[in-house]
Structure 1
C-alpha cells in the first residue's frame, strides 16, 4: 500500500488550491478590492476545510466515496458517491480547457490545442500509473523552488519601479457587495472547497492525525499567495486593466524591466502556471481513478487509466466554444451548481447524519451496558 508523508500532503494541498486559480484571476470583477475578496475567501475557506477534515476524522481510514455508503447505506450512499468521480473528471476536463487556451496564447503560439492536451494527458497518465508516491515526491521538491521563484518575481516587480499603491485606493470604495459576490460561491468553492478532492488521498498519509492542522496551514499559505499576486496586479496594472485582462498574472510579470537586462520573464511565469495546472489535473485524475476503483471493487485501478483519459480528453476539447464561454461557466455556473452542492451542502448533510448515527450508537451501547 502506498504511503505519503505529512509534508507531501501539504505540498499537494498547496498545488491543488493554487492550481489554475492564479491563471485567470477569478476575483478580478472586484477591481481594486480583489485581494481583499481573496483574503475573506481564505477565512471562510478555512471553515470549509475544517468541515472536510472533521468528516475524515469521523470516518477514519475511509476515503471520500466510502463515507457515503458507510453513513447512508449502500442504496443511497453509492449513487451519491458516484457523483464525485464524475466531478473529478469534469474538473480535469476544465483544466485541459484552461491549458488549451493558455499555452497557445503564451508559450507556444500556433500550436494545435489537441496536441497540447494529448501531450499533457500522456504525462498525467504516466504519473498516475506510477502511483501517488511519485507525484508526492515531485511536489515535495518542486514547491519550495517555485515559491522562491515567485518571491523573486515580486522583488523584481518592486525593483522595476512599476508599483503604484495609489491604484489600490480607496479600499472598499464600492462597498462590500462586489466583494461578497466574489467570495460566495466562487471564492470559497473554486479554491478551498476543492480540498475535498484530497479526501481520496488522506487515508494514505502516514500521520493522519496531523492532516487538519497541515491542511489549514496550506490553505492560509495558498490564500496569501493568491492575494499577494492579486494585490500586485492592481498596484501595477490598475483596476481597469485587471478587470478586462484574461491573464492578469502573465501581463503583470511582463512589466518587469531592470536596466534593460532583466526583461521578458513572462514565459517563465506562464511555465509556472502550466506546472500548477498540470499537478492539479493529476490530483483530480488520481482521485477519479481511485474512487472508481473503490466503487467498482477493482483490485488494480491501472486498467481504468486509459478509458478515463479518453473521457477527459473529449470533455476538455468540447466543453466550451471559446475562452469567454469557458470563463463564464467556470466563474458563474460551475461553482454554484456543481461545487456548492457537492463540496459544501452534501458534506454538511453527511456530517449531520454521521453525528446522529454516532450519538445513537453511543446511546445503544449505554443501554446494553445498563442491561
Structure 2
C-alpha cells in the first residue's frame, strides 16, 4: 500500500476544523462566565508548549505514527499496551463527538428524530472520508475550511445589533479561580485532544513543519473560539450562557434583520456539523490505524466501517441524557484525559529525545 501524504496546508486545515468542531457546538470555558474570553486567552498560551511536545514526538521519529513510535521506544509488549490504551481513548472520544452532534441536532433542530438515525447518517459520511484515505480528508478540509471561516465571520457581524457591551462586566468579579478552571477545561477540550495528530502527522509531506501546523492552527482556531465566545457573552449575557447547553446556537437564533434574514441558525448548524465531521474523521482514522497496528493488519480502511458502527453504538448507550453528557464532560473528562494528553506523552517525549536521534541514524545507515 502506497504511503499517503498530506501537505502543510492540508494539515492546518484538518486541525483547525478539528479544534473548532464540537467546541463551538458545546461551548467552552463557561465556568468563567463573562470572563470566558480571559480563559480562552490563557488556554491558547498554555496550549503552545503542550503542542510543541506533540510535534517534537513526531519530528524526532519522522515518518512514524504514535503507535509505531511507542513500540520503537518501549519495546513490543509495553508498546502494544500503550497502543491499546490510546486506541481506546481515540475510540471513546470519537463516540463522544458523535453523541455531541446527535444531541445538538435533536435538541435544537429535530426533536422527534431518533439519535441513531442521525448517528448512522454521520457515520456513513465519515466512513466515506476514511475510505478515501487521509489525503482525501486533507483535500476536503482544504476546500471546506474557507467556507466555514467565512460563514462564522459573517454571522459574528450580523450579531452586532444584539450586542450589549455591559455583559462583559464586571471583570474578574469571581476572582481568578474560575478563569483558571475555564482555561484548563479548554486545554483538555479541545486543544490537548490534538495528541491524536501524532498519528496523522506520519503522513506529513514535510515533517519539519509539524510545529508550524500546530502553532498556526491553535492561533487561528483559538481566535475563532475567542470571537464566538465574546459574541455569545455580548449577546446572551453570562447568566444565560450558564443555563444553555448550546449557547452559540441560541445567540445566532436571535439574529433577525427584518424579513430579509431569518432562521439563519440553520446555516450555522450545518457549518458546525461539517466541522464536527472533520473531527470525527480524525478519531476514526486514528482508531482504525491503532486496531490495524495491534493486529498487524496492512490496510486500516478495511476495518473503518465496523469500528465506526461500534462508535455509534457506544455513543447511543454511553449517556442517558444531554444533562448526563455535559455533567460527565465537566466533572470527569479532565481527570480521564490527563494521562493520555500529558503524562504518557511526556514520557514518550523524554524517551524520544534520548533514543530518537540514534534510531534515525540507525535507520539511515542499517
- Report TM bin, short chain: over 0.9
Aligned residue in 2 for 1:74:
76
Q: Which runs of 5+ in 2 are unaligned?
A: none
Bigger Cα Rg: 1
How far does the alpha carbon of each residue in 1:171-216 deviate from its partner, in whole angstroms, 9 at most, with x for none? 21211100111222x2112111111111111121112211211220
Alignment TM-score, normalising by the size of structure 2: 0.94
Alignment TM-score, normalising by the size of structure 1: 0.93
The residue correspondences of 1:54-133 to structure 2 (distance < 5 A) are: 54-133=56-135
1:170 aligns with 2:158: no
TM-fit CA distance, 1:228: 0.8
The residue correspondences of 1:1-371 to structure 2 (distance < 5 A) are: 1-158=3-160, 161-184=161-184, 186-337=185-336, 339-357=337-355
- What CA RMSD, in Å, does the superposition of the two structures yield over aligned residues? 1.6
CA distance in structure 2 between the aligned counterparts of 1:152 and 1:96, rounded to whole angstroms = 27
- Given that 1:16 and 1:280 are in contact with CA atoms closer than 8 Å, whether structure 2 keeps it comes out as yes
SS in 2 for 1:264: coil
CA distance in structure 1 between the aligned counterparts of 2:310 and 2:334, rounded to whole angstroms = 21
CA distance in structure 1 between the aligned counterparts of 2:125 and 2:22, rounded to whole angstroms = 18
- Given that 1:107 and 1:271 are in contact with CA atoms closer than 8 Å, whether structure 2 keeps it comes out as no
How far does the alpha carbon of each residue in 1:94-126 deviate from its partner, in whole angstroms, 9 at most, with x for none? 111112211122233311111111111111112
TM-fit CA distance, 1:258: 1.8
CA distance in structure 2 between the aligned counterparts of 1:157 and 1:78, rounded to whole angstroms = 50
Q: Which runs of 5+ in 1 are unaligned?
A: 366-371
Q: How many residues align?
A: 358
- The 1:41/1:312 distance shift into structure 2, 3 A limit, reads same
- Given that 2:163 and 2:234 are in contact with CA atoms closer than 8 Å, whether structure 1 keeps it comes out as yes
TM-fit CA distance, 1:13: 0.6
- Given that 1:27 and 1:182 are in contact with CA atoms closer than 8 Å, whether structure 2 keeps it comes out as yes
How far does the alpha carbon of each residue in 1:69-104 deviate from its partner, in whole angstroms, 9 at most, with x for none? 111111212111211111111111111111221112
TM-fit CA distance, 1:358: 5.6
- Given that 1:33 and 1:171 are in contact with CA atoms closer than 8 Å, whether structure 2 keeps it comes out as yes
CA distance in structure 2 between the aligned counterparts of 1:7 and 1:188, rounded to whole angstroms = 24
CA distance in structure 2 between the aligned counterparts of 1:3 and 1:303, rounded to whole angstroms = 19
